[in-house]
Structure 1
Amino acid sequence: MARKSRSILWVRRAPGARHRGTLAFAGHIFPCALGRSGIAGGKREGDGVTPVGALALVEVLYRADRVRPPRTRLPVRAIRPDDGWCDAPADRNYNRPVRLPYAASHEAMARADGLYDIVVVLDWNFRRRAKGRGSAIFLHIARPGFLPTEGCVAVTPAAMRFLLAHLGTDAVIDTGPGFRVAVPDRSGRTAR
């Protein structure tokens, strides 16, 4: 039986600045911003690290009041004005979407700066959560000049639209420094 291949977006740090990188996919290379502390293992809440791993793409969120819905095979949902994301490790909704106002520490998803006009939720500490291992690890729109993120991977709007048009639920972002990707399929088996 033939194995279904995965779409892999390779993210690597660029020489000279730990918060800048490249994202390679299907023969295209895009500049990207990384966490202010670069790519590393041992991710903890608030450390500014982009975590090492093979991160599945969960769903796409977008600002319907600012951009048109992205074309993609991933699940897509419009961001509402009261959407937030909990980043309080002790809260029962840690690393989960929440409705604002929300008592515990959180971030608003309807940002004024446009960084979350299109955002892809990545499966870092999302499906199987551990308190304090990091929250809100996304693929989102980069600041001008590719300034550092809090741990996310960020690209230009044009790169985001190109990537999403070619990606589905089989896609992963590989942030590892040359490690071999072993990603479980839907049955839980790992293909090598």
Structure 2
Amino acid sequence: MIVRAAPHAIRGTLAVGERVRPCVLGRGGIVADKREGDGGTPVGRFPLRRLLYRPDRESAIATGLPILPLSEHLGWCDDPGDPVHYNRLVRLPFDSRHERMWRDDGLYDLVIELGYNDAPPVPGRGSAIFLHLARPDGRPTEGCVALARDDMLAVLVAVGSESMIDISYA
């Protein structure tokens, strides 16, 4: 899987095999030196860890990735001051800063966890970098890569546990 965009662009392309799809990037575009809160999508090559999904909204998902159904009790720690849980899935309630994975806006109805800054996580280097569903109005993400739902479903069929995402400048 290949993501390409011009420097500072919030829109790019995601290619899997011969098929190229439009994607949305972070408000900071693709960045070489990712930092927590900068809005940048990190440059690099990262494994696809697993698919997380809302079982009340999605079912029978075809993919070769490991799958984890979300619940209202799951969050993602984005607090660099918590080195034990930083850039990790956590159970709610949770005392450190985090985002909820069970979102009302639908962006995380289908979300692929990318293996960015996770082996091990370095506090402050960025967290919660996912491939998720795009907003209907096409607004940029906080640093993730986002696709339209139909494009995400097509990508899910084409990827597996050995798949990687390569994010770089066009």
Q: Does the 8 Å CA contact 1:61/1:118 hold for their aligned counterparts?
A: yes
The residue that corresponds to 2:3 in the other structure is 11
Q: 2:30 aligns with which of 39, 42, 51?
A: 39
Q: Report the alpha carbon displacement of residue 14 of structure 1 after superposing the two structures with TM.
A: 5.3
What is the identity, as a one-letter code, of the residue corresponding to 1:102?
F
Deviation at 1:168, TM superposition (A): 0.6
Deviations 1:15-39 (A, max 9, x none): 8x71111111111111111000000
Instruction: String of CA shifts for 1:32-63, please: whole Å, max 9, x gaps.
Output: 11000000111000000000000110000000
What is the correspondence of 1:67-146 to structure 2 with a 5 Å cutoff?
Answer: 67-91=58-82, 92-146=84-138
What amino acid does structure 1 have at the position aligned with 2:29?
A: G
Shift of 1:111: 0.1
**TM-aligned CA deviation for residue 127 of structure 1:** 2.4
Unaligned 5+ segments in structure 2 are: none
Which residue does the alignment assign to 1:52?
A: 43
Let me know the Cα RMSD of the aligned residues.
1.3
Q: Where do 1:138-177 residues align within 5 Å?
A: 138-177=130-169
| Matched residue SS, 2:99 | strand
Structure 2 SS opposite 1:131: coil
Cα deviation for residue 146 of structure 1 reads 2.0
Q: Which consecutive segments of 4 or more residues in structure 1 shift more than 3 A?
A: none
**Structure 1 length as normaliser, TM-score?**
0.85
Specify which structure has the bigger relative contact order, considering alpha-carbon pairs within 8 angstroms and separated by 6 or more residues.
Answer: 2
Give the conservation status (yes or no) of the 8 Å contact 1:14–1:22.
no
Query: What secondary structure is seen at the aligned counterpart in 1 of 2:150?
Result: helix
Contact 2:74 2:100 in 1 (8 A): yes
Aligned residue identity for 2:21: F
SS of equivalent residue, structure 1 residue 176: strand
- Asked whether the equivalents of residues 6 and 169 of structure 2 are also in contact (C-alpha less than 8 Å), the reply is no
The 2-side partners of 1:113 and 1:167 are apart by: 25
Q: 1:29 aligns with which of 13, 16, 20?
A: 20
Percent of aligned positions with the same letter in both sequences? 50
TM-score when normalising by structure 2: 0.95
Q: Aligned equivalents of 1:69 and 1:141: distance in 2?
A: 17
SS at structure 2 position matched to 1:161: helix
